[in-house]
Amino acid sequence: MTRIVDVARRAGVSTATVSRVLNGKSVRPELVAAVRAAVDELDYVPDRTARSLRRRSSDVVALVLPDVENPFFTAVARGVEDVAQEAGFSVVLCNTDDDPAKEARYLAVAEHENMAGVVIAAASASPALAGLLARRRAVVAVDRAVPDAVDQVTFDNVALGRRAAGLLVERGFRRIACVTGPRATTTAVDRATGWRLALDDAGLVPSDDLLVHANFRVDGGYAATSELLARPTAPDAVLATNNLVGVGALRAVADRHLDLAASGAAGGTSVGVGIVGDLPFATSRTDDVALVPLSPRGLGTTAARMLLERLDGLDVAPRRVVQDGAAPPGGTSAGLHL
């Protein structure tokens, strides 16, 4: 059986350097290339069992997400998996369907199976992390903030809601409704707060009856938008605070045989739509939709790197990274450590 010392000898480096490369730590590019080449030539397989015994945990990371069918979370998962796999960890995907009870069961499995750590986009306002933290397991909250003392990486969701609603205001819409997610979800609440702030900025009154909490899925966006558009005094625009809610809103507009309005001067047979996030699939012509695109893969890569830093022994106070959310060239959002 090939040993790590054999890899080191073939690559012309120390065993410590080989270990650093295999564990995803910072090493000069030319040394990484030499080690990777030696690993391939010798068909070297690291002794995961021995490493697990030293760590008293496995080389498996749980990724707990509320809706794996949502392309937003698919992109988050890809970011986590890319970073974890490069460092020699496997990722187990856990879909909670935004169900706190199902989430608690997955977290219990991660604890009792001695998984190395957990990246979680929480379904509940206070996920059951106590057991994992008592065992000193690494936990990173992604996308949705949690009250626990763990590392967290989120978008600036207030700013995103404010930006999207502001686009509708700039286009001349004045009676702007907001369809957001459940009240227990911080993302939903924060983006609705941004909607309020954008209307305040414009001297408009953010009416409570124009704020609708639904689920963060297509059916939730459809039902809420249909109800808003059926009112005697309907809004002239609807802000959907995530991508699937946006799809539902567009379907509701199409089913009522309304046109998408590019501006508030379009008249009563059309309605404006704004969406926080990218449309995963279009239901009608979307040129006139006010979109604020996101970079969810950047959330995943940042969360995975933070998790790996904890697994490598980083012992500092819980960190919070807030990304502005916009998807610039290259696809990675700018981040701010707080």
For the entire predicted model, the pTM comes to: 0.77
The answer to whether 4 and 21 have CB atoms below 8 angstroms apart is: no
Q: What's the Rg (C-alpha) of the chain?
A: 23
Q: Which of 67, 93, 100 is nearest to 216 (CA)?
A: 67
The phi, psi pair for 83, rounded to 5°, reads -70, -45
Q: Where are the domains of the chain?
A: 4-46, 49-149+300-337, 157-292
d(CA 335, CA 323): 4
Q: Please give the average per-residue pLDDT across 208-224, as a whole number.
A: 96
Q: What are the distances in angstroms from CA 38 to CA 2, 5, 42, 44, 308?
A: 11, 11, 6, 8, 24
- Supply the CATH classification number for the domain 157-292: 3.40.50.2300
CA 1 to chain centroid, in Å, comes to 41
Compute the Cα dihedral for 229, 230, 231, 233 and give only its sign: positive
The contacts of residue 326 (CB under 8 Å, 6+ apart) are 292, 293, 294, 295, 333, 334
pLDDT number for residue 289:
93
Pick the range with the lowest mean pLDDT from 10-14, 173-177, 200-204.
10-14
Level-2 CATH architecture, domain 4-46: Orthogonal Bundle (1.10)
Strands 320-323 and 335-337: antiparallel
User: Six-digit token pair at 30?
Assistant: 């030319």
For the segment 18-35, what is each residue's pLDDT rounded down to a tens digit? 888 887 677 888 998 999
- Supply the CATH classification number for the domain 49-149+300-337: 3.40.50.2300
Q: Please give the average per-residue pLDDT across 177-183, as a whole number.
A: 96
Whether 157-292 and 49-149+300-337 are alike in CATH topology: the answer is yes
Q: Please give the average per-residue pLDDT across 54-63, as a whole number.
A: 72
Which residues partner with 22 through β-bridges? none
For the segment 122-155, what is each residue's pLDDT rounded down to a tens digit? 999 899 999 999 989 999 999 999 999 999 999 9
